Amino acid sequence: MSETPLNKPNSDYIKTDESMLPSDNLKSQQIEDAHQKAPSNNGSKNNLPSNTAQNVNTPQKPLPVQLPAQQSMQQPIQQNEPSTFNPLKPPVVIFRNVTKIFNPGTAQEYCAIKNISFEIEDIPDVGEFIALVGPSGCGKSTVLNLIQGFQEIGPPTTGEVLVRNKPVTGPGKDRGMIFQKYSSFPHMTVFENVVFGLKINNDTNRFSPSQMREMAMNIIKKVGLDGHQNKYPCQLSGGQQQRVAIARTLVLKPRIILMDEPFSALDEPTRIEMQELITNLWQEVEATVFIVTHSLAEAVYLGDRIFIFTPGPGRLKKIIPIKPDDIGKQRGLSPLDVQECPKFKAFLKETTAEFLKDDRIN
């Protein structure tokens, strides 16, 4: 892959019509307005002491983190209790008191997550980006797997996981998954990998071969792989292989995108390119995105909200809302430009302090 300057958007890789996209501030305002309208469920149970009300979960009105650094994040961040919003559209995802225990009743029994509750509203014409952070082994990937409905993970041990008010019973084409490990079929070309999902779902989609080819090539171009469509995965760099995974997911137009440390194996310049790529594509598809990451800087840059988990068994201890202006994020600025600005560094410092607090939930 040719070297690309990091101080400006890479137009060879990002093919979107920015004039058709809503501004970051408009999207942020729509998210905040939706959370303001979502009433709290006062009847929900909460066993936490009153002085930790800021520690758990559902979006009411997000209280923005005040910056610059001399202003503290110690003010309460919204309490997360399941709520209702927009009766015409059910919430995208609901977790209700979800606990997942693996190998119950055996010597290998362990609890991955405990009493997780949150709700993601279906905000009209806006996709929300949720970043999940926490220590290794705190159950972040388990949350994604429960949303996806992988059979080997199974249902929650207690509680329920709903996607659009329906219990998750298995994978669905409305949910797409992008893994940390490269997941393309090694015996298929880039084009064959991308078109594969369209073919196996064509009993309901009813696309003609020419339509499927056009859709596949369109997304291949958008992820910056035009000219590479006839190559096999072994002929691609790590960043290019993740572009294939992104294309395979987005070509099906899922309403929920689940990303499990998708950029962790990439070098830093490529990782920054991928952050810019996924941001632009997400703004276009307007899907709800969950990303698991061990990089707090990545979480702050990408997320509309950050979910911070305790050490295992993982519990959701804090939700931090983020507006573009909180971190100096503006259209036209590269991830590197944003992450070098004073606002971003101040917000990252405050977020890191929250992450390191030993205030695990009993």
E-assigned strands of the chain? Answer: 93-102, 110-120, 129-133, 158-163, 166-167, 175-178, 256-260, 288-292, 305-309, 316-321
- Residue 161 forms beta bridges with which residues? 95
**153 & 281 share domain:** yes
**273 & 344 share domain:** yes
**335 & 218 share domain:** no
Is 248 a member of any domain?
yes
By residue count, the chain amounts to 362
Q: Which pair of structure tokens corresponds to residue 95?
A: 């977790």
Is 8 a member of any domain?
no
Boundary residue ending a domain (252, 268, 303): 252
> CA 154, CA 145: separation in Å to the nearest integer?
9
> CA 347, CA 344: separation in Å to the nearest integer?
5
**235 & 343 share domain:** no
Q: Which of 61-75, 133-147, 176-190, 191-205 has the lowest mean pLDDT?
A: 61-75
**166 & 308 share domain:** yes
**272 & 168 share domain:** yes
**197 & 305 share domain:** no
164: containing domain: 18-40+52-174+254-356
Q: In terms of pLDDT, which residue wins out, 150 or 1?
A: 150
Task: Provide the phi-psi class of 332: left if phi over 0, else alpha when psi is between -120 and 50, else beta.
Answer: left
Domain count within the chain: 2
The tens digit of pLDDT for each residue in 13-33 reads 334 444 444 555 555 666 665
* pLDDT at residue 362, as a whole number: 54
How is 216-243 classified by DSSP, letter by letter? HHHHHHHTT-TT-TT--GGGS-HHHHHH
3-class secondary structure, 74? coil
The tens digit of pLDDT for each residue in 152-190 reads 888 999 999 999 999 999 998 899 999 877 778 999 999
> CA 166, CA 162: separation in Å to the nearest integer?
5
Q: Are 237 and 3 spatial neighbours (Cβ–Cβ below 8 Å)? A: no
pTM of the complete model beyond 0.85: no
- If pLDDT is split at 50, 70 and 90, which confidence band does 75 have? very low
Residue 130, number of CB atoms within 10 A of its CB: 21
Is 12 a member of any domain?
no
